[in-house]
Every structure is written in structure tokens, then in C-alpha cells.
Chains A and B, each alone.
Chain A
Amino acid sequence: MKRVYKRPEGLSKTIMRYCPGCGHSIVHRIIGETIDELGIREKTIAIAPVGCSVFLYEYFNCDSIQVAHGRAPAVSTGIKRVNPELIVFSYQGDGDLAAIGTAELIHSATRGENFTIIFINNAIYGMTGGQQAPTTMPGQKTTTNPYGRDPKLAGYPIRVSEMLATLDGPVYIERTAVNKAVNVLKTKKAIKKAFQLQVEKKGFSLIEVLAPCPTGWGISPLKACEYVDKVMIPYYPLGVYKDLTQVK
């Protein structure tokens, strides 16, 4: 048996312009592999957010739309309702999804729209220069919180997966991470399952991925992975938060 690990066809040949050690490109590759394995490249539409992954349409080898800040779930709903045969996934960061796009997110989840959201949680606004996001950890230093996030002043981080799991609409919600090989493999499994559920028309699915942002956090890539392990995972525990199916 021959196993080849190489660039999936779901991704274009364009070189990804992310910082060294960025979690985005790992998740891009996982989605590209999933698209290949399920054979859905010709009918997949990617929804690009505003954020570091705004150029996602250059990296994916499928049709894509770049939408207004936070409005990806609304546009996904529109596409999916007009043409239910398409496979639609929106790819959003924590600023896009948990701050400006909260309303769209919650209502598309509670309506149980049949599309997939890949939510990259890196606890910071990466593209704009490292400001505090809703998911920034208590005590974490950002450019708008030079002394660390003070919950009394700035509130507590939002646990999006737990919040959405209380709704009746979503079918599958899981939180994973991409800070080490074992977690990358689990993320692959989760994303593939979410896409599979969409192909089977089961309903709304969201995969939250804890990703390192070495540049935004101001630490080296390996230290950033350690930070995810030691600080983020205890606050955002990994695991399946909602699963209404028995698909394997």
C-alpha cells in the first residue's frame, strides 16, 4: 500500500502568506484534504471572512466569496437556501465570528442551517495588529491591554462552543486544537465529520479550532503551541459539545 502525504488538490498552488507557525495554514490543508477525500471540490463554496484568512479564496481550489465582516453565516444561509445541493463552509476567526458576527452566528445556528462553520480561535485580532478579541484570555497582553486582560474591565472570554451547544438547532459542535500532531489528526477527523454531515443534509455544524498566533502573541511558534496547551486548553476544554448523530 502506498501512502502519499502531499499538497491536496483542494488547495491551489499559491504560496500561503501567513506568519511562521500560523494555525490557519494547517487548517486550510485539513479542509483541502477533506474536500479531496469526499470528492466535493466541484460543488464546494468557501466563504472567506475578514481577518488574516481574508485571502482564503486565493488558497482554495474551489469557488469562494469574500463577505462583509462577520456576515459569513448570513451569506452561507443565502447560498445554501438557493442551491441546497452545494456544499458551503464558512471560515471565520474569533473577531469575525465571536465579536461582530455574533448575531448572524447564533441565529443561523438556532435555525439549524445546513452548512459548516470552521471557527479559528486564536484569542486575538491577528490581522489588525494584535488587539483584544472576545476570546482573549484573562491576563493575556494585547496591544489594547498592555497590562493583560482584566475581566473586571473587559469581561470574560466567550466560550462559543458551549454557548451554541445549548441551542436546539446545531447537529454537531466540537472544539479541537492544532498545536501538536495528535491534535491536528483529531481536528482532521472532526472537520471531515462536519463536512460528511453536511453532505448527508443533517444540519448545522461548527468546529472550533484553537490555533497559535505567534506574531500576535509576541512569542516564538513553539512557545505559542505551549501556550495553547497550558493556558487556552484549560479554559477552552477540547471535546465534542453536541452530536445528534451516530455517523462514524
Chain B
Amino acid sequence: MKVEITIDESLCKACAYCIEACPKKNLEFASNINKSGYHPVKVKDKSKCTGCGMCYQVCPEIAIIVENES
């Protein structure tokens, strides 16, 4: 199984919905600030991502792209 998760930092508005929705608790806020002034979300450990797409489902900004090949 190959999973690829990309987060577009510039779109993130730090609502934290994805952090709450991730079943593996694999997302957290980054320490840097994006151009809109929010701390964007980043993936803690890409190898732990199962590609379930729950973060994509709840993300209001469509900032998260998940590719899941199984």
C-alpha cells in the first residue's frame, strides 16, 4: 500500500478539524506561520498515515490531498 499525503500550507486556516478527525492522531500545528497568519497543520509522521482520507473529508479549505494506492 502506497500512501501520499500533501498539505497546502498556504490554504490552511488552522480550524483544527483535521487534527480532531485523524484516527491515528497524526496531525499537529506547525510552528511557522503561513501568509494568512495561521499556524498551518503538518503531518507528524508520513509513514504512519493510512490514507483513510478523513482529514480531507473535514477540511473546509480542501488544503489536504491524499493519494491511496492499495
Residues of A within 8 A of B62 (CB): 6-7, 11, 25, 29
Closest to B11 in A: A15
Known: A5-B56, A11-B62, A20-B13. A180 touches B21 (CB 8 A): yes
Residues of A within 8 A of B51 (CB): 3
A1 to B60, alpha carbons, bound, how many Å?
Answer: 26
B57 with A181: CB separation less than 8 A: yes
Residues of B within 8 A of A221 (CB): 15-17
Of the residues A3, A7, A22, A184, contact of B58 by C-beta under 8 Å: A184
A7 to B58, alpha carbons, bound, how many Å?
Answer: 13
A23 to B17, alpha carbons, bound, how many Å?
Answer: 11
Chain B, 29-61, contact with A by CB distance < 8 Å: what is the 0/1 string? 000000000100000000000010110111111
Of the residues B14, B58, B66, B69, contact of A20 by C-beta under 8 Å: B14
Interface check A154, CB cutoff 8 A: no
Residues of B within 8 A of A156 (CB): none
A5 with B66: CB separation less than 8 A: yes
B21 with A2: CB separation less than 8 A: no
Residues of A within 8 A of B53 (CB): 3, 5
Residues of B within 8 A of A15 (CB): 11, 61
Residues of B within 8 A of A3 (CB): 51, 53, 66-70
**Interface of A (DSSP majority class):** mixed
Interface check B20, CB cutoff 8 A: yes
Residues of A within 8 A of B21 (CB): 180-181
Residues of A within 8 A of B68 (CB): 2-5
B60 with A25: CB separation less than 8 A: yes
Interface check B64, CB cutoff 8 A: yes
Of the residues A1, A2, A7, A21, contact of B15 by C-beta under 8 Å: A21
Of the residues B15, B60, B64, contact of A5 by C-beta under 8 Å: B64
Of the residues B15, B20, B57, contact of A184 by C-beta under 8 Å: B57
Residues of B within 8 A of A181 (CB): 21, 54, 57-58
Interface check A55, CB cutoff 8 A: no
Interface check A18, CB cutoff 8 A: yes
Report A's interface with B, CB cutoff 8 A.
Answer: 1-7, 11, 15-16, 18-26, 29, 180-181, 184-185, 214, 221-222, 225
Jot down 12 A-B pairs with beta carbons below 8 A, ordered by A.
Answer: A3-B53, A3-B70, A7-B62, A7-B65, A16-B61, A21-B16, A21-B60, A180-B58, A184-B58, A214-B15, A221-B16, A225-B20
Known: A3-B51, A21-B15, A184-B58. 18 other contacts (CB 8 A): A3-B53, A3-B67, A4-B65, A4-B67, A5-B56, A5-B57, A5-B67, A16-B60, A20-B13, A20-B14, A20-B15, A21-B60, A25-B60, A26-B59, A29-B62, A180-B21, A185-B57, A221-B17
